[in-house]
Structure 1
Amino acid sequence: LPSLPLLLLLKLQFVCISVQVVKHLEPFRLSLEKLKEVSTRLRKDMIRGLGKHTHHRAAVKMLPTFVRATPDGTEKGDFLALDLGGTNFRVLHVRVMEEEQKMVKMDSQLCAIPQEIMLGTGEQLFDHIAACLSEFLDSQNLKGQTLPMGFTFSFPCEQKEIDKSILIRWTKGFNCSGVEGEDVVKLLKEAIHRRGDYDISSVAMVNDTVGTMMSCGYRDQTCEIGMIIGTGTNACYMEEMKNVKRVEGEDGQMCINTEWGGFGDDGSLEDILTEFDKVVDRTSINPGVHTFEKMISGMYLGEIVRLVLMKLTEKKLLFKGEVSEALRTKETFETKFISMIEDGLENAKKILTELGLTWDLVDARVVRLVCETISSRSARLCAAALATIVDRIRANRGLPHLKTTVGVDGTVYKKHPNDELQKAMHFLAPDCKIKFLVSEDGSGKGAAMVTAVAHSLSKHPHCMMVPPLCFIVRND
């Protein structure tokens, strides 16, 4: 009872401060009507990206993947998968068993990619990848075998064939020289050849979104969309071939890698960019590129929160106006802190202490409010983009209602509450019933599955005459 007046005082103090804080956070609060506008803009950009004569100037690239089907359960064999999409690189050995209709990850190995390699030469990067693969093959006693391999390379690429993919630009903190404009499959093969202690057979190039869709598609054959919300963000989906003007053919479908992270690079999202988004973009290694991704993905969310906390502290709405050296330092507020703080105030207190800040209970609550606001905007923007895709699939098929599955991967999706995403989807795509299926083992298994399907089809050349059911494959 003696502490009751203090609690009431703290609550009153929080209410008074939060009213002022909310004014600073207002630009992050996007109404459902504004989200519908965002969705409409993305729809136009997708059409532009699919066009034969308009794709080269489209912010949303809509890249053909040459993946023409999802798994049918008859695939089998042993496959390697390489998964490169962030600061770690993963090697997997996957066994697909037709009899039991299941995909088993035999083993995997995680290799860190040092900062100096991320910013070094392309030869250094691919030599590092080849060395990790060699070490893994030794550990699995696979050196004597020549296995097919799926290569998940989660960067914007112009895919020419299933085994030929040209890097358009680096993202996610990578900036290796001599790779942009080059065939990454060729660079990988050259690095393996330089080692000379093992070999691989065919290589299927797979974007992480496609891998996610394929791994989930093996479990649920209604899955026709792959979405990543992690270090970066992207999505793919099955588009009608008649709409893919950049590739010959009218029949069947092809998986399209949207590269929606570039949405807004032409200025179309200028009205919803906050002052903090602009600072994040200006101080990134790729200013003006991947506008949408910088608003919602794991590589940037923590920095957005840090900048907001700095502003609130300068306004003396946090920490009595005192900024610690850690909070003043770029990228010290990690994105994982957001989900941890959303989980409870105790986590907030611990993190604020580790950042060298002098805080009280009101500060902890304000920081949690900031984290929830930034996280909510990320989820709602993802919903606007995803709603655009599902509604396009529905319209393509002339259906009044669509029921489909979205394969999802990425730590931001897995670690953050998804209520905002679900609620926004109900409003933005009311004619679509969406099931979300979290990808097991990320996109690595999906890369193996793409390879398994392609390898199976290569043994039956006659099936290549039936475009709707096949991958377009070139065997070396």
Structure 2
Amino acid sequence: MLPTFIRETTDRTEKGDFLALDLGGTNLRVFRVRLTEEEQKKPKLDIEQWPISKKIKEGTGEQLFDHIVDRLIEFLDSQNLKGQTLPLGFSFSFPCEQKQIDQSILLCWSKDFNCSGVEGEDVVKLLKEAIHRRGSYDIGSVAMVNDTVSTMMSCGYWDRSCEIGMIIGTGTNACYMEKMKNVEYMDGEDGLMCINTEWGGFGDDGSLEDILTEFDKGVDNTFENRGEHIFEKMISGMYLGEIVRLVLIKLTEEKLLFKGEAFAALLTPGKFETRFISEIEEPDSGLENAQQILAKLNLKWDLVDARVVRLVCDTISSHSACLFAAALATIANRIRLNRELDYLKTAVGVDGTVYKSHPTFRNKLQKAVPTLAPKCDIKFLESDESSGVGAAMAMAVLQRLAQ
């Protein structure tokens, strides 16, 4: 949860030079964001990105934050910012308890992160300690936000009707604006509060048992964090390829694929990558792509096999899109009912590689939502580097309010 004064007072008069860090499930990105007061002027961005290795993801917290600071210093050098102390927005896409804008306690790791010594700790404090270990640089004040909040704030900068942020990428999450009177943990009834739903953990209490397939359960058993982030495992990019692989194994066992021969590639977890789904579902070249991917995996296939694999990919991505639509519709319906509206017009800011890169995913999602939320008109806003811009925006508004 994050007090709304950050977003509610974003009036596009913010200006200045800001840094932003975005730690996601796949990459670490560092931004320099320059804001001007000019109407309709886009922020000027400089961005560098680095993949996060498995070694870093499974090492110690100290190693992780030292790695982050090393990349930050590298970026500062490339931008000729040595000696300058700039305020920093930090977008952190993992479940946290937000105590203050610069204090956030990691509740648990998600995706495939498992760094020791971080759960239960203040990640902003760990970042500052890593900066002090380096000694040669310093940063100004820090604003810590979740990536969903960053997305909502970034899209809300251009469209004030945006009050939902959603991530459809390696992992998934959403936030939305709730009436204060409905937030049981907070005093007061005036204004709004940003709620970070952490919906990736929906189902961890068994509430999704009725709709879990054998393939969802197989994916859960494959990863170390068994029994955690069930909804995320059903729908997000990190897991979709694995779901497809398990379906293909089932069809092969039933002698409906590959003449019933289970080859090594099918039996190896992670071998069927999620990006294959996007390539196979390309409207014009998808069948040819499917044939090339099957050949690359050393599978003995014929044309029928390639078509069936394409159908499986379409089914799994459609299943994911419909579950996303159900979750989004639930939030929109809640907003409408809590505000006692007959009809709600709102906007959702969306970020994430699955939404942006899959050729048909957004159409599947947008087609399903009106069926599930018929009294809500939801406009979809695709973010542009939202995690960095939104985190910097949070810092910019705080700085303006302080002045």
TM-score relative to the length of structure 2 = 0.96
For residues 281-300 of structure 1, what are the structure 2 equivalents within 5 Å? 281-300=220-239
SS in 2 for 1:388: helix
Count of aligned pairs between the two proteins: 396
Which whole-Å CA distance do the structure 2 matches of 1:450 and 1:378 have between them? 31
Which whole-Å CA distance do the structure 2 matches of 1:458 and 1:409 have between them? 30
Measure how far apart 1:332 and its partner are. 0.8
Which whole-Å CA distance do the structure 1 matches of 2:5 and 2:319 have between them? 34
With 440-449 and 150-159 compared, the bigger mean Cα shift is at 440-449
For residues 77-476 of structure 1, what are the structure 2 equivalents within 5 Å? 77-343=16-282, 344-416=286-358, 417=360, 418-459=362-403
SS in 2 for 1:421: helix
Q: Is the 8 A contact 1:75 1:98 kept in 2?
A: yes
Q: Which amino acid aligns with 1:449?
A: M
Unaligned residue ranges in structure 2 (runs of 5+): none
With 425-434 and 411-420 compared, the bigger mean Cα shift is at 411-420
* CA deviation string 1:239-284 (max 9, x = no partner): 1111112122221011110001111111111011011111110121
Measure how far apart 1:105 and its partner are. 3.4
Q: Is the 8 A contact 2:6 2:398 kept in 1?
A: no
SS in 1 for 2:178: strand
| Greater relative CO, 1 or 2 (CA 8 Å, sep 6+) | 1
Which whole-Å CA distance do the structure 2 matches of 1:352 and 1:105 have between them? 43
Which whole-Å CA distance do the structure 2 matches of 1:88 and 1:414 have between them? 16
* CA deviation string 1:117-136 (max 9, x = no partner): 11010000000000000000
Q: Is the 8 A contact 1:81 1:151 kept in 2?
A: yes
Identical counterparts, % of pairs: 72
For residues 28-43 of structure 1, what are the structure 2 equivalents within 5 Å? none
Q: Is the 8 A contact 1:105 1:445 kept in 2?
A: no
With 308-317 and 132-141 compared, the bigger mean Cα shift is at 308-317
Q: Is the 8 A contact 2:169 2:351 kept in 1?
A: yes
Which whole-Å CA distance do the structure 2 matches of 1:457 and 1:103 have between them? 21
Measure how far apart 1:69 and its partner are. 4.2
CA RMSD of aligned residues (A): 1.1
Q: Which amino acid aligns with 1:147?
A: L
SS in 2 for 1:102: coil
Unaligned residue ranges in structure 1 (runs of 5+): 1-63, 460-476
Q: Is the 8 A contact 2:92 2:145 kept in 1?
A: yes
* CA deviation string 1:136-178 (max 9, x = no partner): 0000011211111100000000000111000000011000000
With 311-320 and 156-165 compared, the bigger mean Cα shift is at 311-320
Which whole-Å CA distance do the structure 2 matches of 1:166 and 1:287 have between them? 22
SS in 1 for 2:281: helix
